[in-house]
């Protein structure tokens, strides 16, 4: 698929990835560096999310996936969990109309079992209200863990085998992919992690097999257009081989 070319940092011809995924990291450290409560860091992180969604649309990115809440985040202090869920509620209630008006389609991945009723309802509402939009697709990974997603897909495949609809010898990587949370979406071309940490932290492990990884030192609340464009510029300079050889045979 041909990707759009745009001008970044004064240089024309950079290739825009079709699907960008972001691990939004560093809210707490941003707040600590300023002697502010962690809740303020999370609040500023929501502002950065709004900014990033807008920029992604302006750059012509087709899909933006964000790691909003990890399945491991439930181990955090209850007060912080309440703050995070409260911000999610505010984001959907206050921003959903704007997202819909701007033709953004919202998709949710992750385990919805056991979520608080109003949280589950809000996630469903966001998907349903924007279902027919055909602009930027915003994928929200909520209560998400990649290993858990793979395990869910394996259980679904096992159910097919037990029901006699599939033979064990028919199980392939492609079939497993079809049982992931969003099998219709292409794998991310670029995964960005903010705050300087250099690991995926149980995020899109299956889908990231051939993704380009860019780690930026910026804490998430400070992630802006310049940082976003710099990450895309880094992506654009790389040669993606998908296990093959470079054009020159290297």
Binding residues for substrate: 26-30, 38, 42, 70-72, 74, 76, 193, 199-201
Residue set of the binding site for Mg(2+): 25, 212
Return the SS3 of 109: strand
Q: DSSP letter for 82, please.
A: H
Residue set of the binding site: 25-30, 38, 42, 70-72, 74, 76, 193, 199-201, 212
184 in active site? no
- Cβ atoms of 84 and 69 within 8 Å: the answer is yes
Q: DSSP alpha helices (H): ranges in the chain?
A: 27-33, 38-59, 78-101, 117-129, 146-162, 173-177, 225-237
Please give the Cα distance from 44 to 221 (Å, whole number).
5
The catalytically annotated residue of 25, 83, 181, 189 is 25
Q: At 24, give phi and psi (nearest 5°).
A: -85, 90
Cβ-based neighbours of 93, under 8 Å, separated by 6 or more: 122
Please give the Cα distance from 93 to 218 (Å, whole number).
28
Q: Is the dihedral angle over the CA atoms 109, 112, 113, 115 positive or is it negative?
A: positive
Q: Residue 70, exposed/middle/buried by CB under 10 A (0-12, 13-18, 19+)?
A: buried
133 in active site? no
Q: Is the dihedral angle over the CA atoms 88, 108, 185, 138 positive or is it negative?
A: negative
The catalytically annotated residue of 9, 73, 103, 159 is 73
Which of the residues are catalytic? 25, 73
């Amino acid at each position: 698929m041909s990707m759009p070319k745009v001008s970044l940092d004064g240089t024309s011809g950079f290739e825009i990835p079709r699907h960008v995924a972001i691990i939004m990291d560093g809210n707490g450290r941003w707040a600590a560096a300023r002697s502010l409560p962690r809740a303020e860091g999370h609040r500023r992180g929501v502002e950065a999310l709004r900014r990033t969604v807008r920029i992604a649309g302006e750059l012509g990115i087709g899909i933006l996936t964000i790691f909003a809440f990890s399945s491991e985040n439930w181990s955090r202090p209850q007060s912080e969990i309440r703050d995070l869920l409260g911000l999610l509620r505010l984001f959907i209630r206050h921003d959903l109309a704007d997202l819909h008006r701007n033709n953004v389609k919202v998709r949710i991945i992750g385990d919805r079992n056991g979520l608080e009723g109003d949280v589950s309802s809000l996630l469903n509402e966001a998907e349903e209200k924007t279902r027919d939009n055909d602009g930027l697709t915003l994928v929200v990974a909520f209560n998400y863990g990649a290993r858990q997603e793979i395990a869910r897909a394996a259980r679904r495949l096992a159910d097919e085998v037990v029901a006699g609809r599939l033979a064990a010898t028919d199980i392939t990587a492609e079939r497993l992919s079809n049982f992931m949370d969003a099998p219709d979406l292409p794998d991310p071309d670029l995964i960005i992690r903010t705050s300087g940490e250099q690991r995926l932290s149980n995020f899109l492990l299956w889908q990231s097999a051939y993704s380009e990884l860019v780690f930026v030192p910026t804490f998430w609340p400070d992630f802006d257009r310049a940082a976003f464009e710099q990450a895309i510029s880094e992506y654009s300079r790389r040669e993606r081989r998908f296990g093959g050889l470079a054009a020159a045979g290297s």
